[in-house]
Amino acid sequence: MPTSLLLVDLQRDYLPGGRFPLVDANRAVERAALVLGAARRVGAPVVHVRHLSTRSDAAFFLPGTDGALIAPVVAPAPGERVVEKHLPNSFLGTGLAAVLEAAGVDRLVVAGMMTHMCVDATVRAAVDLGYDVVLAADACATRDLEWQGRTVPAVDVQAAFLAALDRRYGRVVSSAEAVALFGGPDLPAQGPGLLPVSKSP
């Protein structure tokens, strides 16, 4: 089954010092970089998705700013496709589906940000389009949310969205398991951290 790595919005504005930093974003990008390395070693297709904000009230991912650039540790290599989007769903209004079809891809390994928004929308759309999806949980990051005066901590947002996606919308795995899908060695144990991993049978 041809497998592609899809990296969604791993951009500087989400990292510490950016315009919209997420919780534990550095760790997620570092884990995504390990999966990226494994995909590159076996020559798997790699597609980077980059969000550019077009709304007049946008505060981050502004065109022409450093924050809209992909994080250096996962920067595209020559020959890797970059798809630009303006909405949460990476397939909507973009050429992503055509890029994957041209590569003959059946399965997507996904990592990215934000888990509750663009990652969620992209994974659900991919499954609707017939792709088998594997989501690397600890290579994703999100943020605290507010609802009716209550703060929902990022760790709970992450857990809820991963739990909702697992099984029905693909398999949610660790970055170590994602690396293994590309034939790489298992990564060291993750230890405590923000991002829970849901084990699928």
Which are the catalytic amino acids? Answer: 9, 85, 118
Pairing between strand 145-147 and 150-152?
antiparallel
Q: What distance separates the 2 farthest-apart alpha carbons in the chain?
A: 48
> What value, to the nearest 5°, has the Cα angle with vertex 185 and ends 103 and 118?
50
Quote the CA–CA distance of 104 and 11 in Å, as a whole number.
Answer: 27
Which of 97-109 are b and which e, b meaning 16 or more Cβ less than 10 Å from the residue's Cβ? Answer: bebbeebebebbb
Give the number of other CB atoms < 10 A from CB of residue 81.
17
| Pair 152, 146: CB distance under 8 Å | yes
Quote the CA–CA distance of 151 and 139 in Å, as a whole number.
Answer: 23
